[in-house]
A and B are shown apart, each in its own frame.
Chain A
């Protein structure tokens, strides 16, 4: 049977490509499962049932729950102020509030910890991860608020609800997917976070796995902690799916919705401005000012221009290669999911998302062993590192490419065919230009992630390969903040334009 917009059956080559991608993406998960089984119950118990693991569990849970809640509140409040009120300078605020996205968490952490050691421990860690990650809630909530039809709120007001109750009973429920989705991302980032927390002396599963790795390379102790971490991520993903519910949020009815009337802040404008100002100062001001201070200090002693140039070129090259690779892998998966909807397409798409629950340290541990024992030819090669990036960041690429393909109507292909263009040409001349912006956005997302990736790079990079992140880290480890500063600065410079493009397109688009 042929449905509108879909092609009959599954084209064999496409299906084959998709299955290969899904298998590749699942390698780390298979490894973790296989390793657990081969370790055996007795050894696993010795390594897992001990106070240290309990301590890590408490630390990790406190940080994840605290960080998600704080980011949700801060991100939602900021988005509402910027999108729905008459706050002065809203455009500027939007850029400033989204800007921390260009600062990797470990750079924010560095900016703070090199200023005062008072941020060490739980409270400091909570403050710093919230400042680094709240944009992950702020951006989607802002986009949703922009797209909401004000008619619902107006109905609520006309039925006698006050502004606060309207917000709580009408607006908030509609924001649920964005808030939950954004918070879930924050949670997953926190579970995978290494550099920022190591600097703050706040041990979680990820930092403990790295410590085990340092003490014994790829050992049962490290891998057993990795299993717990993966389970933890899995629980988070499943909980989010459950909480999201099955409600429909799309607007029905013809025509376009009007722009919402901005709420009048009145006397509340002053505290709102002060609050947003404080967020910007803490999230951007403190780290950046301190970074510049260390740049000056560092430049007075040594400025290794050659090392800086090499590390920048390496990071950018790896970023480009990783982005290209991830997007190429995402294309068949997204194509299958959109153009041939069905159980197989969904299954394959979902399976590429397992990487979302696999922190970089787990992917790296798996690939070290797999490459060493099964494909020694790629051990310690750039290829393996790029494969790791592709696996880790495939979900980002898939989401972006999928949205792009979904917006390219298949009927245009048919029109091109009917006009006598061959399929390949039609793809190149009609489909590709249509999906290029979305694919480009996906590539930029992966590029950003790779340029600031630390954990997997530390474990997998070929001998002699140093990126901005690893050079930065080795200086921070030696508490040489001045020498670390130029690397941090370059990471920010590389990330800033891409982040700006993304936030701009997010504002124009959805």
Chain B
């Protein structure tokens, strides 16, 4: 082992030296740091298209919506991030309220329909996704389907519905319930879910469990099902979709946001990236990526496999009112977190 010990020390020293030189060498040209709470595959595809078009490189740091949003707020002026991209809007609102964003270029704001832009003009929506109730075909019949997401708190759903409580997606759905129904009704509903729900790590795990019949139903976003259908269908073969519609909070359409940080050292390049994400070229990359999220640009037709957004009849919610921290607090009080 003596020679092993020596070899080890030599190797370790070499590794440190390599590490140091790697850290020391500067990049030519700008590299943007993107705090990415969106799906890594989708953002890599979109960012690669951006780099191809502009030559600006982008590094991705992955995390969840509220995790990265709170991180940006705690980092304050020291934040290494230039651009922040989320899956849902409450995290954008959190950063915006803390003064973490720069005002976006007018050209960028003009590319995006009004319902996806907050009043502040400090961030924009660049993708959208719809809440959906999924159920195992053999376990829940058509006439047993709930009319509203609020029904899931009732005793008939005990042990029968899966949710990814710790995930940003489900927390965004709760924020919609909060926006539509108010705090008291939301607290009661969450208490019912605590009794009824089986908790999963994320939407995919929940869908897989529904498919396997481990839980009869779950609340997730639409694209998990469409993605699986487009691939093998292995995890969604027995799963049917049920959109609540009728402006129910369960018909909530969530907006993925993008914004430029106030702390960014490369604001010009960062503005270009957000502009690209919402441009015709960027939106086309989104639609072609296989992510099966909805594009927000009026100029780019959505993937024909999806139910058109207009038919989903979502509740009218101002994107900048969704309150993430309040949701976390309510969920802690309901012992779901």
Give the nearest-CB partner of B207 in chain A: A479
Contact between A321 and B75, CB atoms less than 8 A apart: no
- Give the Cβ gap from A184 to chain B, nearest Cβ, in Å: 27
Q: Are A216 and B66 also in contact (CB < 8 A) when A443-B5, A444-B8 are?
A: yes
Contact between A214 and B12, CB atoms less than 8 A apart: no
Given B5, B12, B166, B208, which contacts A437 in the complex, CB threshold below 8 Å?
Answer: B5
Contact between B15 and A379, CB atoms less than 8 A apart: no
Given the complex, which residues of B lie within 8 Å of A201, measured CB to CB?
Answer: 199-201
Contact between B212 and A217, CB atoms less than 8 A apart: no
Q: Is A174 in contact with chain B by the CB < 8 A criterion?
A: no
Given the complex, which residues of B lie within 8 Å of A216, measured CB to CB?
Answer: 66-67, 70, 325, 328
Q: Mark B1-45, 1 if CB is under 8 A from A, else 0.
A: 110111011011101101100010000000001000000100000
Contact between A214 and B166, CB atoms less than 8 A apart: yes
A contact patch SS? helix
Contact between A464 and B59, CB atoms less than 8 A apart: yes
Given the complex, which residues of A lie within 8 Å of B71, measured CB to CB?
Answer: 217-218
Contact between B78 and A376, CB atoms less than 8 A apart: yes
Residues 184-241 of B at the A interface (beta carbon under 8 Å): 199-202, 204-205, 208-209, 212, 214, 235
Give the nearest-CB partner of A439 in chain B: B5
Given the complex, which residues of A lie within 8 Å of B6, measured CB to CB?
Answer: 436, 440
Q: Are A217 and B40 also in contact (CB < 8 A) when A433-B2, A501-B4 are?
A: no
Give the nearest-CB partner of A464 in chain B: B59
Q: Are A382 and B23 also in contact (CB < 8 A) when A55-B335, A477-B202 are?
A: yes
A52 to B335 CA separation, bound complex (whole angstroms):
5
- Give the Cβ gap from A219 to chain B, nearest Cβ, in Å: 7
Q: Is B250 in contact with chain A by the CB < 8 A criterion?
A: no
Contact between A217 and B66, CB atoms less than 8 A apart: yes
A212 to B166 CA separation, bound complex (whole angstroms):
8
Contact between A117 and B214, CB atoms less than 8 A apart: yes
Given the complex, which residues of A lie within 8 Å of B204, measured CB to CB?
Answer: 478-479
Q: Is B120 in contact with chain A by the CB < 8 A criterion?
A: no
Contact between A215 and B166, CB atoms less than 8 A apart: yes
Given the complex, which residues of A lie within 8 Å of B8, measured CB to CB?
Answer: 320, 323, 440, 443-444, 447
- Give the Cβ gap from A167 to chain B, nearest Cβ, in Å: 34
Contact between A324 and B9, CB atoms less than 8 A apart: yes
Given the complex, which residues of B lie within 8 Å of A436, measured CB to CB?
Answer: 1-2, 5-6
Q: Is A144 in contact with chain B by the CB < 8 A criterion?
A: no
Given the complex, which residues of A lie within 8 Å of B4, measured CB to CB?
Answer: 440, 444, 501
A212 to B331 CA separation, bound complex (whole angstroms):
11
Given B2, B61, B67, B171, which contacts A217 in the complex, CB threshold below 8 Å?
Answer: B67
Given A323, A369, A441, A501, which contacts B12 in the complex, CB threshold below 8 Å?
Answer: A323
Give the nearest-CB partner of A369 in chain B: B74
B contact patch SS? helix
Contact between B80 and A463, CB atoms less than 8 A apart: yes
Given the complex, which residues of B lie within 8 Å of A290, measured CB to CB?
Answer: none
Contact between A317 and B15, CB atoms less than 8 A apart: yes
Given the complex, which residues of B lie within 8 Å of A369, measured CB to CB?
Answer: 74
Residues 255-313 of B at the A interface (beta carbon under 8 Å): none
Most buried by A among B8, B16, B59, B63: B8
Residues 353-384 of A at the B interface (beta carbon under 8 Å): 369, 372, 376, 379-382
Given B12, B73, B208, B328, which contacts A215 in the complex, CB threshold below 8 Å?
Answer: B328
Q: Are A380 and B80 also in contact (CB < 8 A) when A211-B337, A501-B4 are?
A: yes
A486 to B39 CA separation, bound complex (whole angstroms):
21
Give the nearest-CB partner of A479 in chain B: B204
Contact between B61 and A211, CB atoms less than 8 A apart: no
Given the complex, which residues of A lie within 8 Å of B333, measured CB to CB?
Answer: 50
- Give the Cβ gap from A205 to chain B, nearest Cβ, in Å: 13
Contact between B15 and A217, CB atoms less than 8 A apart: no
Given the complex, which residues of B lie within 8 Å of A183, measured CB to CB?
Answer: none
- Give the Cβ gap from A317 to chain B, nearest Cβ, in Å: 4
Given the complex, which residues of B lie within 8 Å of A463, measured CB to CB?
Answer: 33, 59-61, 80
Given the complex, which residues of B lie within 8 Å of A479, measured CB to CB?
Answer: 204-205, 208, 235
Contact between B74 and A218, CB atoms less than 8 A apart: yes
Q: Is B314 in contact with chain A by the CB < 8 A criterion?
A: no
Q: Is B100 in contact with chain A by the CB < 8 A criterion?
A: no
Given the complex, which residues of A lie within 8 Å of B2, measured CB to CB?
Answer: 433, 436-437, 440
Contact between B201 and A477, CB atoms less than 8 A apart: yes
Contact between A440 and B74, CB atoms less than 8 A apart: no
Q: Are A320 and B11 also in contact (CB < 8 A) when A55-B335, A215-B171 are?
A: yes
Given the complex, which residues of B lie within 8 Å of A50, measured CB to CB?
Answer: 332-333, 335
Q: Is B62 in contact with chain A by the CB < 8 A criterion?
A: yes
A316 to B8 CA separation, bound complex (whole angstroms):
12
A464 to B80 CA separation, bound complex (whole angstroms):
13
Q: Is A474 in contact with chain B by the CB < 8 A criterion?
A: yes
Q: Are A324 and B235 also in contact (CB < 8 A) when A381-B23, A436-B5, A474-B40 are?
A: no
Residues 475-502 of A at the B interface (beta carbon under 8 Å): 477-479, 501
Contact between B64 and A214, CB atoms less than 8 A apart: yes
Contact between B70 and A372, CB atoms less than 8 A apart: no
- Give the Cβ gap from A25 to chain B, nearest Cβ, in Å: 20
Contact between A198 and B1, CB atoms less than 8 A apart: no
A215 to B328 CA separation, bound complex (whole angstroms):
7
- Give the Cβ gap from B171 to chain A, nearest Cβ, in Å: 7
Contact between A440 and B1, CB atoms less than 8 A apart: yes
Contact between B18 and A317, CB atoms less than 8 A apart: yes
A317 to B23 CA separation, bound complex (whole angstroms):
13
Contact between A52 and B15, CB atoms less than 8 A apart: no
Given the complex, which residues of B lie within 8 Å of A214, measured CB to CB?
Answer: 63-64, 66-67, 166-168
Given the complex, which residues of B lie within 8 Å of A433, measured CB to CB?
Answer: 2
Q: Mark A329-361, 1 if CB is under 8 A from B, else 0.
A: 000000000000000000000000000000000
A447 to B331 CA separation, bound complex (whole angstroms):
40
- Give the Cβ gap from A117 to chain B, nearest Cβ, in Å: 6
Q: Are A321 and B78 also in contact (CB < 8 A) when A214-B66, A217-B67 are?
A: no
A74 to B23 CA separation, bound complex (whole angstroms):
47
Given the complex, which residues of A lie within 8 Å of B337, measured CB to CB?
Answer: 52, 208, 211-212, 215, 221
A481 to B27 CA separation, bound complex (whole angstroms):
36
Q: Is A39 in contact with chain B by the CB < 8 A criterion?
A: no
- Give the Cβ gap from B92 to chain A, nearest Cβ, in Å: 15
- Give the Cβ gap from B211 to chain A, nearest Cβ, in Å: 11
Given the complex, which residues of A lie within 8 Å of B16, measured CB to CB?
Answer: 320-321, 324
- Give the Cβ gap from B25 to chain A, nearest Cβ, in Å: 14
- Give the Cβ gap from B61 to chain A, nearest Cβ, in Å: 4
- Give the Cβ gap from A122 to chain B, nearest Cβ, in Å: 14
Contact between B1 and A441, CB atoms less than 8 A apart: yes
- Give the Cβ gap from A506 to chain B, nearest Cβ, in Å: 12
Q: Is A505 in contact with chain B by the CB < 8 A criterion?
A: yes
Q: Are A221 and B19 also in contact (CB < 8 A) when A214-B66, A216-B325, A474-B62 are?
A: no
Q: Mark B52-63, 1 if CB is under 8 A from A, else 0.
A: 000000011111
Q: Mark A199-215, 1 if CB is under 8 A from B, else 0.
A: 10101000010011111
- Give the Cβ gap from B23 to chain A, nearest Cβ, in Å: 7
Q: Is A51 in contact with chain B by the CB < 8 A criterion?
A: yes
A321 to B202 CA separation, bound complex (whole angstroms):
34
Most buried by B among A47, A316, A376, A505: A376
Identify the 8 closest CB pairs spanning chains A and B, nearest first. Answer: A440-B5, A217-B70, A324-B12, A52-B335, A463-B61, A211-B166, A437-B1, A320-B12
Known contacts A51-B335, A211-B166, A317-B15; can you find 5 more A-B pairs with CB under 8 A? A52-B336, A324-B15, A379-B75, A440-B1, A479-B208
6 residue pairs A–B, Cβ–Cβ below 8 Å? A47-B332, A214-B168, A215-B166, A221-B328, A369-B74, A433-B2
